[in-house]
Amino acid sequence: MATPPVLRIGCAAGFSGDRTDAAGPVVDALLAAGGPAVLIFETLAERTLALAHLARRHDPAAGFEPLLDAMLQPVLARCLRGGVKIVSNFGAANPRGAALRIREMALQQGLPAPRIAVIAGDDVSGPAHRVALQRALGTALDGRDVVSANAYLGAEPIAAALKAGAQIVVGGRIADPSLTVGPALAHFGWAHGDWDRLARATMAGHLLECGTQVSGGYYADPGIKDVAGMANLGYPIAEIDEQGDCIITKPAGSGGCVDEHTVKEQLLYEVHDPAAYLTPDVVADIGAAHVHTVGTDRVRLAGVRGHARTGTLKINVCFESGWLAEGEISYAGARAEARARLAADVLRERLQTVGALRADLIGVASIFGDDDGRWLAATPCGDARDVRLRVALRHAERTSAERLVREVTALYCCGPAGGGGVRTALRPTLGTLSCLLPRDSVPASFEMID
């Protein structure tokens, strides 16, 4: 039997809010290479999904990726005509809504209605799962206003939808690497329980899932790690072979770089125990993985092993958790740092009955610091001459959190000399809880819209 051709998977988004002109060069490269190809967009984070659920509460037609049109419009026709499949979790809280919008986009462009599969089953916020969630989370959810509860689905419903002829697969909470494993599973027809191949494809998906983070984005450090062409970074493409091993590359002529160091940084990104990277599809083991340059902007990942997947799926529950208030004011010139520190002292005294206040001196000591202020307290007052004070607190009640906004604004008249540029923000916050549910209790399926 002939070896099946490599499967090329390009990734055109690593998060909601990624560059929306990403897909064009990736699709050009996939079409130029010929052969089976898939375009994925990974646009969901915990918070993104909860915000999508809130959006759907206000408008039942909303709740999918707000930038869907901008991401897809420029490449939809070329993908459909060229046979490039599209797989994404940009359906967020409303995959069916996203699918209908894509269908509408295609018809508006004069294309035949595409076969779009909608993945269902990730939403576990309904009554069917309530008892199981309460059992898993105990009293942690008592009295909470739950915004969303979603299971991380795996590759199987994607593979099933593609095998059934879907040109586009739209899901909600699908685990990031499963967007890659699904098409690979459909293409190569690996056996159930082929953990090594599933693990290799999973790590290919892991390398793709943050977009340019593997191809020179989030990497540059002038003089140490120089990256050319950052304004036009090439989004990554994985060439996956029948063994599941992959070569990571990017479109010719694009900015950025794919080398052993960019690949290693992304390989370990958000990994804990390298021998047990848990996904819905497999337990991947990169303890013996290795990377090798095989050409310009071409790096091969090999040596990944797999172990049997667990019997559970991860669930994220989002709930409304109160209010975050923030305020900022700047000081410049002689004794600017001392004046900013004095302003922080004034705010602490004024707000002591409201709650714990975090203070940052931007330009002196800020994001390395801890919320309790040990880092700032250990930083002696220096002579910084352009300092922005930033304060923040959380409170369950809006009116209490709002006190911070008023006190920072009042520094215009009542604070130290020369303070300017006050900005304040007050926003509702979301909390999350995670638990595991038995895999069998969260069945996934797909519905074809054509």
Q: Is 122 in the site for other proteins (CB under 8 A)?
A: no
Distance CA 422, CA 412 (A): 8
- What are the backbone dihedrals phi and psi of residue 6, each rounded to the nearest 5 degrees, phi first? -60, 150
Which two structure tokens, joined as six digits, stand for 394? 């959380």
Q: Tally the residues of the chain.
A: 450
Distance CA 259, CA 265 (A): 10
- What are the backbone dihedrals phi and psi of residue 279, each rounded to the nearest 5 degrees, phi first? -135, 175
Question: CA nearest 171: which of 42, 55, 282, 66?
Answer: 42
Rounded to the nearest 5 degrees, what angle is found at the Cα of 318, between the Cα atoms of 425 and 69? Answer: 75
Q: Is 348 in the site for other proteins (CB under 8 A)?
A: no
Relative to beta strand 237-240, strand 246-249 is antiparallel
Q: Can you tell me which of 104, 273, 345, 349 binds other proteins, judged by CB under 8 A? A: 273
* 369 neighbors 376 (Cβ within 8 angstroms): yes
Site for other proteins in 320-339 (CB under 8 A): 321, 324
Site for other proteins in 212-231 (CB under 8 A): 213, 218-219, 221, 223-225
Classify residue 35 as left (phi > 0), alpha (psi -120 to 50) or beta: left
Question: CA nearest 69: which of 109, 31, 39?
Answer: 109
Which two structure tokens, joined as six digits, stand for 270? 């958000």
Site for other proteins in 383-402 (CB under 8 A): 390, 392-394
Q: Is 364 in the site for other proteins (CB under 8 A)?
A: no
Q: Is 272 in the site for other proteins (CB under 8 A)?
A: yes
Q: Can you tell me which of 374, 385, 398, 423 binds other proteins, judged by CB under 8 A? A: 374
Q: Is 380 in the site for other proteins (CB under 8 A)?
A: no
* 151 neighbors 435 (Cβ within 8 angstroms): no
Minimal distance in Å, beta carbon 185 to other proteins? 25
Total residues contacting other proteins by CB under 8 A comes to 51
Q: Is 370 in the site for other proteins (CB under 8 A)?
A: yes
Nearer to other proteins by C-beta: 282 or 393?
393
Region binding other proteins by CB under 8 A among candidate stretches 25-33, 104-112, 184-192, 269-277: 269-277
Nearer to other proteins by C-beta: 73 or 429?
429
Residue type, 292: H
Site for other proteins in 276-305 (CB under 8 A): 286-291, 303
Minimal distance in Å, beta carbon 188 to other proteins? 25
Q: Is 358 in the site for other proteins (CB under 8 A)?
A: yes
Q: Which residue has the tokens 């304040």?
A: 424
Distance CA 369, CA 404 (A): 20
Q: Can you tell me which of 430, 437, 442, 449 binds other proteins, judged by CB under 8 A? A: 430
Minimal distance in Å, beta carbon 374 to other proteins? 4
Nearer to other proteins by C-beta: 123 or 326?
326
Minimal distance in Å, beta carbon 395 to other proteins? 11
Distance CA 442, CA 133 (A): 12
Q: What residues line the site for other proteins (CB under 8 A)?
A: 46-47, 213, 218-219, 221, 223-225, 261, 264-275, 286-291, 303, 321, 324, 358, 360, 366-371, 374-375, 378, 390, 392-394, 429-432, 434
